[in-house]
Structures are given as structure tokens and as C-alpha cells.
Amino acid sequence: MVVAPSVGGELGILPRHVPLIVALRPGETRLMLLDDSELVMATTAGYMSVEDDRVLIMVEQAERASDIDRSRAEKALHRAEEDLAAAGDDESAGEHARAALRRAQNRLKVVDKAVS
């Protein structure tokens, strides 16, 4: 089973799911494996395609929750907040900082959920 954060809400995919293409938002993507273990990842925005009993997830970044260094993610969050404050009227710099802020917040949310 695959559970992914679509723009319309969390979407679960089981075997023999009907074909679809859906936009994904940043969030937590979970894969339930055949051995009943679960792989949890922090993923960025992108797309998911389901066809012929195959799921293809296309995102810019995917990081296993177990690989996320909380301290490093907190530093990235603070850096993004500083960059956003410094961007002022520069739309390009502001958008870049907002994207970095969303990534850092997502990474922290996923790692915190995985720990609890």
C-alpha cells in the first residue's frame, strides 16, 4: 500500500487501483511493504501516477524519516526564516526562501511523527 499527500488530501493506493494521475503536496509519504514494515519519507510537491498495478511518485526530493537529522533540519528552518526576512521586495528570493521553509517544516514534522 502507498499513502501519499495529494493536494486534495491523503490518498491510499492498494493493489488493482484504477489508473490515475494526481498532484502531490509536500508531506509524508508512506509505503507499506510486503513484510509488514513501513517506509516513511518526507516528500516535496510533485505527481503520482498509478497504472497497471504500479505506482510512480515523481517529486524533487524524498528523504527517509530515519535519515533526517533533526538538528540539521532545525538549522535549515532558521536559515530559511532569516532568508525570508532578508528577501524584502525581491519576489524570487522570497519564493526561494518560502520553498526552503516549507521543506524544512515538512522534514521536522515527518521526523517528529516518526519518533513518536
- The 10s digit of each residue's pLDDT in 21-53 is 999 999 999 999 999 999 999 999 999 999 998
Same domain assignment for residues 85 and 33: no
Q: Which CATH number is 50's domain given?
A: 2.60.15.10
Residue type, position 61, single letter:
Q
> Does 73 lie in the same domain as 52?
no
Calculate mean pLDDT across residues 111-115: 82
State whether 9 and 49 are in the same domain: yes
Residue 116 is predicted with a pLDDT of 67
Residue 58 structural domain: 2-65
- 49-95 per-position pLDDT tens digit: 999 989 999 999 999 999 999 999 999 999 999 999 999 889 999 99
- Indicate the number of domains in the chain: 2
Q: Which of 108, 42, 41 is nearest to 72 (CA)?
A: 108
Q: What is the pLDDT of residue 88?
A: 87
Instruction: Please give the Cα distance from 114 to 81 (Å, whole number).
Output: 24
Instruction: Indicate the pTM of the whole model.
Output: 0.83
Q: Dihedral of CA 109/110/113/115: which sign?
A: negative
